[in-house]
Chain A
Amino acid sequence: MNLEKDPQLIFLKCAAQPSQNNFKVLYEATQMRLFPVCLRILKNQELAQDCLQASYVKIWRNLDSYDAKKSKAVTWMSRIIRNQALDMLKRKQIVDYVDDVPDMADPSLHQEAQLLAAEQSALLAQCLAQLKPQAMHCILGNYFDSLTLQELADQLSQPLSTVKTWVRRSLPLLKKCLERSYEQH
């Protein structure tokens, strides 16, 4: 167990002893994994920075509300980041789409799933890769880009009902695969 590298231990230490120094260690250990969430959803460098800033201030203020029984600290933090990004998105603060953000709408779908096959998301990526490509595209587009099904339907030039059916049918399959995979590990 390395206190300097394990985000969970760093978080617990920071929650127990909330100091600027401890929080800086936590920030440095986690921001690289969380900043991309802001970038992905907001697709705007400046807004993503604002999102990250606001999120970490929220994390700081809510350190004591984290419950280790419910989730890992990084997962808890990522929910705060995602909610912040979605709030900002809903407030329609997006102005431009900057080029330096990877385009997740690119339908090279299985490639995306391969990219996801890193670290603890490997199981999830494997399950996604088992879905029909169009269903996976919708699920990823839905999650990463926060596109509504209507927007995805427009993008794919398909009726809304068709897109909805893809997603609805694929969710039980995804769930079954996830449960099976996590049981095996």
Chain B
Amino acid sequence: MSNIDTIESELQLEYLAFIHSCGSLSAEEQDQVAQELIDLPEFQTRVAYWNQYITELDLSLEAVSAPTLVWQNVRQEIAQSTIISDNVQEMSSNSLADHLTKGLKKWWLGLKSVSWGLAASAMLILLVVFVTQPKSPVNIDNQWIVKSNVNSNVITLVAVSPAPIPVGITCNLWITNDEGALFVAALPEKGKVSIDLSNYPDVLEKFDQPGLLQVTFDPKGNQPQTMGKVMLETSWSI
């Protein structure tokens, strides 16, 4: 292939990637893309490039507000899916509780050689975690649960984790309100932790208004600057 041919084919690939990104391929071009290019990594890279930059054109259009009817219709539709989702979540919680109960039963039976008193005490501790905080917020993600209990300035979090936290991920506690988001502390991977905010005078000083306590999943490493995926959220006020 000559240099000119190479340049021509580069230009053609760029052109098709751009037009594909715009969504305005002709029928003939659509066929060509579907048959020859769609799986080509070089083509995909170019499409991603144009998607990233040219989509900004969309966001540059003069703002126009949609009639309120649109939101009413959206709300109606998502309300139906919320009901379904809530049912699924309830089932998940129940399944998880069943799973833990079964686990405890197995553990109980497996501890025949251990003194009954010791086992009973240990189990009681575990059950207390579940029984005393039935109303606290629960978030489930891949069988990972965080429960919180906010009492005065002390935040108590319980991580009950049948599955470990994913490798390379850490769990962080943040406080957010209109002032912004403030990283408070990294949480242990498992077990119960209490954080007395009285030990964080700078936090209390900055956040003198009601806000939210949020627990996020973030990559392990230095203190995070921005919040990752929020796993738990509960209201908080001093």
User: Residue among B26, B58, B67 with the most chain A CB within 10 A?
Assistant: B58
Instruction: State the CA gap A110–B62 with chains docked (Å).
Output: 16
Instruction: State the CA gap A160–B104 with chains docked (Å).
Output: 73
Interface: B180 (CB within 8 A)? yes
Those of B36-67 within 8 Å (CB) of chain A: 49, 51-67
Interface: A119 (CB within 8 A)? yes
Interface: B75 (CB within 8 A)? yes
**Inter-subunit contact A60/B57 (CB<8 Å):** no
Q: Chain B interface residue count: which class?
A: 35 or more
Interface: B120 (CB within 8 A)? no
CB-CB < 8 A to B33: which residues of A?
none
Which chain B residue lies CB-closest to A37?
B58
**Inter-subunit contact B15/A168 (CB<8 Å):** yes
**Inter-subunit contact B23/A86 (CB<8 Å):** yes
Given A16-B233, A17-B233, A142 contacting B22 (CB threshold 8 A):
yes
**Inter-subunit contact A49/B59 (CB<8 Å):** no
Interface: A171 (CB within 8 A)? yes
Which chain A residue lies CB-closest to B60?
A121
Instruction: State the CA gap A142–B177 with chains docked (Å).
Output: 43
CB-CB < 8 A to B12: which residues of A?
168
Q: Chain A interface residue count: which class?
A: 35 or more
Those of A30-73 within 8 Å (CB) of chain B: 31-37, 39-40, 48-49, 52-53, 56-57, 60-61, 71
Q: A92 to chain B: closest CB distance in Å?
A: 13
Which chain B residue lies CB-closest to A4?
B178
Q: Which of B18, B26, B59 contacts A171 (CB 8 A)?
A: B18
**Inter-subunit contact B23/A82 (CB<8 Å):** yes
Given A3-B178, A52-B66, A78 contacting B55 (CB threshold 8 A):
yes
Instruction: State the CA gap A148–B25 with chains docked (Å).
Output: 6
CB-CB < 8 A to B24: which residues of A?
142-143, 146-149
Q: Which of A4, A33, A144, A146 contacts B59 (CB 8 A)?
A: A33
**Inter-subunit contact B233/A121 (CB<8 Å):** no
Instruction: State the CA gap A129–B219 with chains docked (Å).
Output: 41
Q: A42 to chain B: closest CB distance in Å?
A: 12
CB-CB < 8 A to B62: which residues of A?
36, 102, 115
Q: B82 to chain A: closest CB distance in Å?
A: 6
B153-161, B191-199, B224-232 - the one binding chain A: B224-232
Interface: B5 (CB within 8 A)? no
29 A-B residue pairings within 8 Å (CB atoms): A13-B230, A16-B214, A19-B82, A20-B82, A31-B66, A32-B63, A49-B66, A49-B69, A53-B73, A53-B74, A56-B74, A61-B81, A75-B52, A78-B59, A79-B55, A115-B62, A120-B56, A120-B59, A124-B53, A139-B18, A142-B24, A143-B54, A146-B22, A147-B24, A148-B26, A149-B26, A150-B26, A169-B11, A171-B18
Closest 6 CB pairs of A and B: A16-B230, A121-B60, A36-B61, A1-B180, A32-B63, A86-B23
Other contacts beyond A1-B180, A149-B19, A164-B15: 4, CB < 8 A: A19-B82, A82-B23, A142-B19, A171-B11
Binding site for B on A (CB under 8 A): 1-4, 9, 12-13, 15-20, 23-24, 27-28, 31-37, 39-40, 48-49, 52-53, 56-57, 60-61, 71, 74-75, 78-79, 81-83, 86, 102, 115-116, 118-121, 124-125, 139-140, 142-144, 146-150, 164, 167-169, 171-172, 175, 178
Binding site for A on B (CB under 8 A): 11-12, 14-15, 18-19, 22-26, 49, 51-67, 69-71, 73-75, 77-79, 81-82, 85, 176-178, 180-181, 214, 227, 229-231, 233
